[in-house]
């Protein structure tokens, strides 16, 4: 399918909502030059200081997701910080992400733009690293809010890639020598090699992780019945399936296992796991996170 233009993907209404999102998520910049590399202010770094409760406007990069998943409350881990934390935006551009109407791939690009806007406003550097069966540096990390249009141009220039392969993609990403930062992986996390391959790949990543899972309600509860011809949107392979109650029940159990393993990965890595419904307003869902701390796991 033809790639959308900047105006089609990021229309004026979307950009206006991004402006409101940035103002909501924005934190007050610390005193001193943003080029200073070391700071004794609370932040994200290697030396742990303490916890403090999340309040709207706090830095999303410092959230301790493991505490949230155990206690149901959002806390920040405070560290002696190295400033200008790199934020690496990794949208899944595999072929299956651009299948059908309102494809998940378009939602992935909008999510990537939204988090880029927030990070750039916070004076962090942002780079774009699309992946499918490999990973590439589409935009070298750099800071400055004026760079946001360059991010938009980069995202809309991306084209569907090959099959999904997290192992190869994350290995390639690791081979790109970058300073430790926050890697935001935006995907449905469906891989032909199974969720085990996804977990294995992401366990090897040395960056902090924020996983943005693009979902539809039908993922967990498909409304199917009768004899169907199903097509694998990754490979194009077709298969006849009888959607009996037993088959649907087996699917629901398999999907729950998939979700459980993704949550377990997030907990083991102290990573964020956010669900974004591609059929609902993207920015409203992200805004809800920053307004209330309502991270969905």
Question: Domain ranges in the chain?
Answer: 6-28+38-292
Beta bridge partners of 230: 239
CA 243 vs. chain centroid, Å, equals: 32
**Average pLDDT of 289-297?**
58
Check residue 292 and report its DSSP letter: H
| pTM as predicted | 0.79
Q: Rank 2-16, 25-39, 183-197, 212-226 by mean pLDDT and report only the highest.
A: 183-197
Q: Round the average pLDDT of the chain to a whole number and report it.
A: 81
pLDDT, tens digit, 9 for 90 and up, residues 132-170: 999 999 999 998 888 999 999 999 999 899 999 999 999
Cβ neighbours of residue 92 under 8 Å, at least 6 residues apart? 104, 105, 108, 130, 131, 132, 164, 185, 186, 187, 188
pLDDT digits (tens, 9 = 90+) for 1-53: 556 666 678 888 888 888 888 876 654 333 332 233 333 344 444 444 445 56
- Structure-derived torsion over alpha carbons of residues 188, 190, 191, 196, reported in degrees to the nearest 10: 110
The domain defined by 6-28+38-292 carries CATH number 3.40.50.410: yes
Task: Give the confidence band of 127 by pLDDT, cuts at 50, 70, 90.
Answer: very high
């Amino acid at each position: 399918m033809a790639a959308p233009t900047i105006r089609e993907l990021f229309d004026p209404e979307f950009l206006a909502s991004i402006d409101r999102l940035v103002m909501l998520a924005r934190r007050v910049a610390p005193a001193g030059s943003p080029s200073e590399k070391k700071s004794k202010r609370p932040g994200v770094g290697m030396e742990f200081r303490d916890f403090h409760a999340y309040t709207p406007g706090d830095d999303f990069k410092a959230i301790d997701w493991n505490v949230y998943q155990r206690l149901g409350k959002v806390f920040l881990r405070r560290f002696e910080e190295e400033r200008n934390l790199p934020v690496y935006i990794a949208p899944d551009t595999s072929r299956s992400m651009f299948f059908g109407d309102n494809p998940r791939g378009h939602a992935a690009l909008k999510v990537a733009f939204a988090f880029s806007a927030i990070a750039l406003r916070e004076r962090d550097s942002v780079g774009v690293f699309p992946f499918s069966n490999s990973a590439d540096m589409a935009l070298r990390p750099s800071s400055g809010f004026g760079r946001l249009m360059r991010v938009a141009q980069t995202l809309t220039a991306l084209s569907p890639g090959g099959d999904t392969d997290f192992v190869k993609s994350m290995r390639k990403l690791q081979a790109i020598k970058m300073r430790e930062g926050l890697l935001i992986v935006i995907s449905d996390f469906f891989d032909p090699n199974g969720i085990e391959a996804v977990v294995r790949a992401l366990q090897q990543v040395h960056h902090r992780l924020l996983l943005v899972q693009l979902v539809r309600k039908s993922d967990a509860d498909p409304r199917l019945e009768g004899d169907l011809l199903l097509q694998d949107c990754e490979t194009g392979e077709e298969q006849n399936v009888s959607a009996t109650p037993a088959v649907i029940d087996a699917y629901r159990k398999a999907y729950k296992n998939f979700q459980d393993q993704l949550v377990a990965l997030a907990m083991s890595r102290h990573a964020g796991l956010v669900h974004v419904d591609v059929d609902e307003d993207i920015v409203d869902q992200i805004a809800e996170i920053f307004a209330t701390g309502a991270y969905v796991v």
